[in-house]
Structure 1
């Protein structure tokens, strides 16, 4: 009977899968999706081609997981630090804008994330790229919108459709930054326009809050968690 602990075979399989993804990420960033072969990924990860296909259906499936991890890493690397560095009296609305700004600026400093974002549309196709992004972003947006409504910081809008519309807006910012010759300049142009649009949702609280509440930015889902 199993005791619930991973077997040596399970651990070896997970190590192989991780090695494949690490090697693939390095190659995709250095050479691009089209110029990278499964043979090269197998060689770079010290795995057999059969082992690669045991874990992933094809090269596109490998890229999808690499891209998902890259996008999740951007949020995981930025949001906790952004929240900790915010002024103690920052309102929930100010926290939301500061968090968005932190994510945008992360692309300025993260070369690999920019490259993978540029490659994603051609590697995955628009629909699949959008699915990966939505699985990460929509739960986060729904949660933050709900908290902002509860705090009286934005008008009482339907959370579901508003999250979809905000995702459509925010999802355009990353590719613009990734394609820019000067990513920092792109962010400086995007932010005032983006915040002017978002401010249409904002309303001043009727009464000052007695205690500033920190927004609960959710951890991005893993591929396994997002699977139906």
Structure 2
């Protein structure tokens, strides 16, 4: 009986946390992080202020958890797109998926625009390295291990390529033709990738 009660309580706690994250995601994206109060988030999630503080110390910690969740979703989508493509198309498929993610309002506003200002550059980098940028690093590292002559500083190359995609996503809203703009970005990023990994030779 006690074990069952603990399980139900844990399930309720998980549901409350997810409700708070969902509410924050919607409100922060629509209104902006600074404009949303704790009371508004709790009300949207249909929980008490006390329930909010049971899970998060305040808005910054809530945003941190939300950015981690958004990055995890992005990583899963990029990994799935790459895995579904043929070996020769995996890099391009991953880049296209990452650009699509970066273009979405929640990711763009919260991860690309708000996270650094609220969480700080160091924390934002840590989250990136454990998620989306980590995929780029792993892919480039695989190239380097096969004998790439160009990709000597893999973390730097991964961060530069990742930043190209992120910064390009911030310009999509002002593009006259979004589809053509995305195609241009994908070509430029792919050319950069090819230049970084130029000279790859299988090891004997």
TM band (smaller chain): 0.7 to 0.9
Unaligned 5+ segments in structure 1 are: 208-228
Unaligned 5+ segments in structure 2 are: none
Partner of 2:39: 39
| Per-residue CA distance 1:135-169 (angstroms, 9 max, x = gap) | 213542343233323445x33755xx412442244
Assess, with a 3 A threshold, how the Cα gap between structure 1 residues 168 and 146 changes in structure 2: closer, same or farther. closer
Question: How many Å separate the matches in 2 of 1:100 and 1:178?
Answer: 15
1:143 aligns with 2:99: no
Contact 2:74–2:98 (CA under 8 A) maintained in structure 1 = yes
1:77 aligns with 2:77: yes
TM-score, length of structure 2 as denominator length: 0.79
2:108 corresponds, among 109, 114, 131, to 114
Higher helix share: 2
- Structure 2 counterparts to residues 1-228 of structure 1, below 5 A: 7-84=7-84, 86-87=85-86, 90-91=87-88, 94-108=89-103, 110-116=104-110, 117-152=112-147, 154-155=148-149, 157-158=151-152, 161-182=153-174, 184=178, 186-200=181-195, 201-203=197-199, 205=201
Q: CA deviation at 1:97?
A: 3.5
* SS of structure 2 residue aligned to 1:7: helix
* SS of structure 1 residue aligned to 2:170: helix
Question: How many Å separate the matches in 2 of 1:67 and 1:103?
Answer: 15
Taking CA–CA contacts closer than 8 Å with sequence separation of 6 or more, which of the two structures ends up with the larger relative contact order? Answer: 1
Contact 2:78–2:98 (CA under 8 A) maintained in structure 1 = yes
Deviates more, 1:21-30 or 1:129-138: 129-138
Contact 2:108–2:170 (CA under 8 A) maintained in structure 1 = yes
| Per-residue CA distance 1:171-218 (angstroms, 9 max, x = gap) | 3431431354246355344333333332222235469xxxxxxxxxxx
Assess, with a 3 A threshold, how the Cα gap between structure 1 residues 172 and 64 changes in structure 2: closer, same or farther. farther
* SS of structure 1 residue aligned to 2:199: coil
Q: CA deviation at 1:66?
A: 1.1
Assess, with a 3 A threshold, how the Cα gap between structure 1 residues 163 and 176 changes in structure 2: closer, same or farther. same
* SS of structure 1 residue aligned to 2:73: helix
Q: CA deviation at 1:134?
A: 2.1
Question: How many Å separate the matches in 2 of 1:147 and 1:6?
Answer: 45
